[in-house]
Structure 1
Amino acid sequence: MTAFSDFGRRPWWRGIAVMLVMMASGFGIDRLAAQELRIAVSSEPSSFDPHFHNLTPNNQIMRHAFEPLILSDERQALSPGLAASWRLIDDLTWEFKLRPGVIFHDGSAFSADDVIASFERAPNVPRSPSPFTSYVKGRVLEKIDDLTLRIKTATPDPLMLNNIAQVMIISKAAARAPTEDFNSGKAAIGTGPYRFNAFVPGDRVVLDRFDGYWGGKPQWARVTLKPISSNPARVAALLAGDTDVIEAVPTTDAQRLKADKNLVVASALSNRVIYFHLDQYRDVTPFIRAKDGSEIKNPLRDVRVRQALSKAINRPAMVERVMEGEAVPASQLLPDSYHGTSKNLKPVALDVAGARKLLSEAGYPNGFKMVMHGPNGRYTNDTKIIEAAAQMFARIGIEASVETLPPAPFFSRASSGNNGNPEFSFILVGWSAGTGEPSDSLRTLLGTFDREKGTGAANRGRYSNPEFDAILASALRTVDDKKRAALLAEATDMVMNDVGLIPIHYQLNTWAARKGYTLVARSDEYTLATSVKPAP
């Protein structure tokens, strides 16, 4: 029976009693001595296949068992991983020296063959809701010897290191394994500090220390990650001692937990933007109708309607009332402190009169009816955010209703639920940048959807702007950092003014742990056992 097994079934007062007993008996010290760590996460992973779904709940758990060639720290600075060093031979060729002495969890030796097999598999996993195609497309891998690898590109690739830092390396023996074999553990063979013990969808992921890890002995003998999507339940689990660490501290509890002397709290400004994606590819979109219920032409294809929707959102109120101050209003895909972001953009100001005027000019003076979709429990206050936006839209004449779904079915339907195309008309989603600049976000969220080119992999609104695509492509070929930053800022200005999507806010990432632990807060939101240590 796991430490979580009886949570949610016992009376609240028993949780408090247990906590008091634990404190009196030194239970916390005993747990630290046992080197076991229990983490409550806010969303469950959809798979244990590291190439199946490019999504934070999946990626953060995969990084315990699998590793990329390049590692990124809590601020996304890059450092050697399975690649010990690298150099640029010419504008189109990178050479990587792989780390010697690395072994997989099954005892087999790591080599260039495993890297090649991983890069070949990553974009070709069947039924992937959000593949890793953009990180590997256009890169040709060449084995020089077992520990030397070259990657060639058709054009200069200034973000080579950032992109390959997103691709987990698996054993070549599992290259043809289906996702089901990773979920069962049969193919879950990595080089990471922890190895697969169990994956029970909806209940837990259990990882055991890998004593053969090249980076030294991992801190914890066993790590259990338990999905608890309910914010009150996650906090209650921490306070009752049913878990040691929780992620995504709810905004309603942040200040209270920070004041609790028996807890440790750590926060960082997130690189995640919460935003709305809009259907811009269908002439008639399924969840928008006239006020009388009759079919109408898709209004979201008109930039004036998109501008009106953005102007209807009161971002400061959303931050203060819904997020309780634990967020920052957004103007683009990353905070403007990041390299390559626009310095011209500011969060769109609330303008109800202006929004009504734009709707009238677009031919919708009385508005329309719309169903808004979103995940329930994936992002901080996600349901509250979409409900608040629906109320704001009512002020400009749009009758918006809300339907939320558990994250797994939501993302499946939002990505490819309609014969391979997004099913919904207007959705709430979030995106955490994989690199330290907006290039990856722009390419993945707003680049014209093209499976072959690997662009628009998470473009669930199917926004398409050839001029934007051309500027972005130029930026992605530009090695000079200053010139690339200017191109990325230009592309950002263009797509934000065209309202390719509607940014709302950037989250604050907050974790809490019981006294006796130290925490490292990460901008990428990843909750990692390696970020938790016993207090000195």
Structure 2
Amino acid sequence: MAVMKAVTTALAALSLLLGVATYTGATAQDLRIAVESGPTSNDPHFHALVPNIAFHRHIFEPLMAQDARQVLRPALAVSWTALDDVTWEIKLRPNVLWHDGSPFTADDVLFTLARAGTVPNSPSSFRIYVQSVVKAEAVDPLTVRLTTAVPTPLLPNNLSLVLIVSRRHGEGATTADYNSGKAMVGTGPYRYTSWTPNEALRLQRNSSYWGEAPEFADVEFRRIAAAQARVAALLARDVDVIEFPSTADFERLKSNPQITTVESVSNRLIFLHLDSARAASPFVTGPNVLRDARVRRALSLAINRAALVERVMERQALVAGDLGPPGYFGTDPALTPDPFDPDAARRLLADAGLPTGFSLTLHGPNDRYVNDERVLQAIAQMWVRIGVQTRVEAVPRATYFTRATRTEFSAMLLGFSPNPETLGMLEPLIATYDAATGMGSANRGRYSNPAVDALIQQARTTVDNAARERLTQAATRAALADTAIIPLYFQYNTWAVRRGLSYEARTDEMTLATSVRRAQ
């Protein structure tokens, strides 16, 4: 393995120096995109995970879509209007066809809203995005009226993540039926061709698409887990586009005349979740000391975020002290990152009755976030310096998220994005877990604070923007003061494409074939 890694790195370096490569394999009508990880399922409602949503958006579509800066744009809906605080009227786009030629109607929307939050065994359910809707009715074939239990100002944003499926093909269909391709009939710009899990997803242009015709006839998303291998594939012209090149390679690619690089500050917060609920936690030696806010705070103060950004992320990240990047709705300019203060961390541990520290295991994925395993190792070293003996276990994301959702871990590295205001972080990450309502659906540390919950509930039912922002800020301040999570940084989203192509960078991290254009 070490020899292969060295050869791959050497080939990449040589190609960068030469700046040229022989084009092979694809025609001008083909597009080959190398991604870090493929979908965990073809079922668009199985797993509320950004890569899954990105892949599925080529085949299925939402009512309203978020553009590259997460501004809502019409998609299958041409308009959405709040008739009062709890009633929304959605006008649907006419003359839209499913891939089988049948018409898209309001009935498909009603079916989707009923299905999205009820898919069995979901690692991260879409329930939170639809659970406020208590009544959905078709006024006519192209008009839907939704009634929510309480005022839900973020409903359009929530629905932008819910992809509409056909009742004809989805009724009675299981996740296995989507995975096999049997139920993969959408309205999107591309038709499903084939999927080989952990290898490739293949798509074909939908010639009957209602919107702008896709630029490429055939698209292949090829999973290449290792960042250096993705770079080598791009330089060898085996692929046309890559996402998330290694931080070191990205700097070198910038100077290659055969390559175009693009980047954007991400809205994705990389953070740590800690088991703050159970009396005994599976990967903490002895009693679960993570229930003590002083211990959680000590772990945060022990982390040198500036060093993580500078040395591990190679300046391709922004230190975080809030749930969203600066300027996002709901962020608070007064919130700053926790300082690096190992002495204060040791004092807090001593105050908590742990003068000699304790032992735990830190879990995380090794194929989901940029430099994720390196980040885990760096944090472990920082914790060891304050007396917390830390073992790292990094596992493939498919296994990792399943286990994390089952609350099998004690301390874990995760990432999450607001949608598109930070209230969209508080609801799934910080609110007390409630399977019935979908609140706290991604709260894998099971943090619970009634005072914070009350602020979140107030915010999520407040229509006035200024008042909702104040409540969101108050909830965030209270949660972070209690170290509900440990914010680390916002990673940069990066892509590289071969000369002759351009790519529209996105803040939401999605890699889309529809964002690729032939350079003018």
Q: CA-to-partner distance for each residue in 1:466-504, whole Å, 9 max, x for gaps? A: 111111111111111111111100000000111001010
Where do residues 14-413 of structure 1 align in structure 2 (5 Å cutoff)?
Answer: 27=23, 31=26, 33=28, 35-139=29-133, 140-173=135-168, 174-289=170-285, 296-413=286-403
- State the AA in 2 paired with 1:382: D
Q: CA-to-partner distance for each residue in 1:266-304, whole Å, 9 max, x for gaps? A: 100000011110011110101111xxxxxx210000000
**Structure 1 contact 19–240 (Cα < 8 Å) conserved:** no
1:263 & 1:393 partners in 2: Cα distance? 40
Count of aligned pairs? 514
1:463 & 1:447 partners in 2: Cα distance? 7
CA gap 1:155/1:515 in 2 versus in 1, 3 angstroms = same
Return the match for 2:432 from 439, 443, 448: 448
CA gap 1:275/1:109 in 2 versus in 1, 3 angstroms = same
> Match of 2:449?
465
Return the match for 2:511 from 483, 503, 527: 527
- State the AA in 2 paired with 1:333: L
CA gap 1:19/1:255 in 2 versus in 1, 3 angstroms = closer
* Structure-2-length-normalised TM-score: 0.96
Deviation at 1:149, TM superposition (A): 0.4
**Structure 1 contact 16–240 (Cα < 8 Å) conserved:** no
1:437 aligns with 2:432: no
Q: CA-to-partner distance for each residue in 1:213-235, whole Å, 9 max, x for gaps? A: 11032111011001111111111
Q: CA-to-partner distance for each residue in 1:71-116, whole Å, 9 max, x for gaps? A: 1100000111100112221121110110000011111110011011
1:249 & 1:524 partners in 2: Cα distance? 17
CA gap 1:408/1:11 in 2 versus in 1, 3 angstroms = closer
CA gap 1:376/1:15 in 2 versus in 1, 3 angstroms = closer
1:466 & 1:207 partners in 2: Cα distance? 47
Deviation at 1:14, TM superposition (A): 8.9
Q: CA-to-partner distance for each residue in 1:291-346, whole Å, 9 max, x for gaps? A: xxxxx210000000000000000000000000000001011211131011122210
1:111 & 1:210 partners in 2: Cα distance? 19
Deviation at 1:15, TM superposition (A): 9.0
Q: CA-to-partner distance for each residue in 1:377-397, whole Å, 9 max, x for gaps? A: 110000000000000001100
Return the match for 1:479 from 457, 460, 463: 463
Deviation at 1:123, TM superposition (A): 0.7
2:83 & 2:473 partners in 1: Cα distance? 29
- State the AA in 2 paired with 1:99: R
RMSD value over aligned CA atoms?
2.1
- State the AA in 1 paired with 2:355: P
**Structure 2 contact 12–228 (Cα < 8 Å) conserved:** no
> Match of 1:423?
408
- State the AA in 2 paired with 1:355: A
- State the AA in 2 paired with 1:310: S
1:126 & 1:426 partners in 2: Cα distance? 26
CA gap 1:201/1:31 in 2 versus in 1, 3 angstroms = closer
Deviation at 1:17, TM superposition (A): 11
- State the AA in 2 paired with 1:156: P
2:102 & 2:202 partners in 1: Cα distance? 22
1:322 & 1:95 partners in 2: Cα distance? 48
Deviation at 1:462, TM superposition (A): 0.4
Matched residue SS, 2:414: strand
CA gap 1:101/1:273 in 2 versus in 1, 3 angstroms = same
**Structure 2 contact 12–231 (Cα < 8 Å) conserved:** no
Q: CA-to-partner distance for each residue in 1:162-190, whole Å, 9 max, x for gaps? A: 11111000000213211111111100111
2:153 & 2:8 partners in 1: Cα distance? 56
- State the AA in 1 paired with 2:408: E
Q: CA-to-partner distance for each residue in 1:29-65, whole Å, 9 max, x for gaps? A: x9563x1100000112100110000111211101111
**Structure 2 contact 234–242 (Cα < 8 Å) conserved:** yes
1:375 & 1:519 partners in 2: Cα distance? 27
Q: Which segments of 5 or more consecutive residues in structure 2 lack a partner in the other structure?
A: none
1:86 & 1:31 partners in 2: Cα distance? 42
**Structure 1 contact 372–425 (Cα < 8 Å) conserved:** yes
1:126 & 1:453 partners in 2: Cα distance? 15
1:481 & 1:71 partners in 2: Cα distance? 21
**Structure 1 contact 48–62 (Cα < 8 Å) conserved:** yes
> Match of 2:501?
517
**Structure 1 contact 332–492 (Cα < 8 Å) conserved:** yes
CA gap 1:24/1:347 in 2 versus in 1, 3 angstroms = closer
1:178 & 1:112 partners in 2: Cα distance? 22
* Structure-1-length-normalised TM-score: 0.93
Q: Which segments of 5 or more consecutive residues in structure 1 lack a partner in the other structure?
A: 1-6, 290-295, 417-421
1:533 & 1:211 partners in 2: Cα distance? 18
**Structure 1 contact 19–241 (Cα < 8 Å) conserved:** no
**Structure 1 contact 118–175 (Cα < 8 Å) conserved:** no
CA gap 1:332/1:15 in 2 versus in 1, 3 angstroms = closer
1:499 aligns with 2:446: no
Matched residue SS, 2:248: coil
1:122 & 1:68 partners in 2: Cα distance? 12
2:251 & 2:8 partners in 1: Cα distance? 25
Matched residue SS, 1:182: helix
Runs ≥4 residues deviating over 3 A: 10-25
- State the AA in 1 paired with 2:144: L
- State the AA in 2 paired with 1:366: T
**Structure 2 contact 273–411 (Cα < 8 Å) conserved:** yes
2:427 & 2:219 partners in 1: Cα distance? 35
Q: CA-to-partner distance for each residue in 1:233-258, whole Å, 9 max, x for gaps? A: 11111111111000012111111011
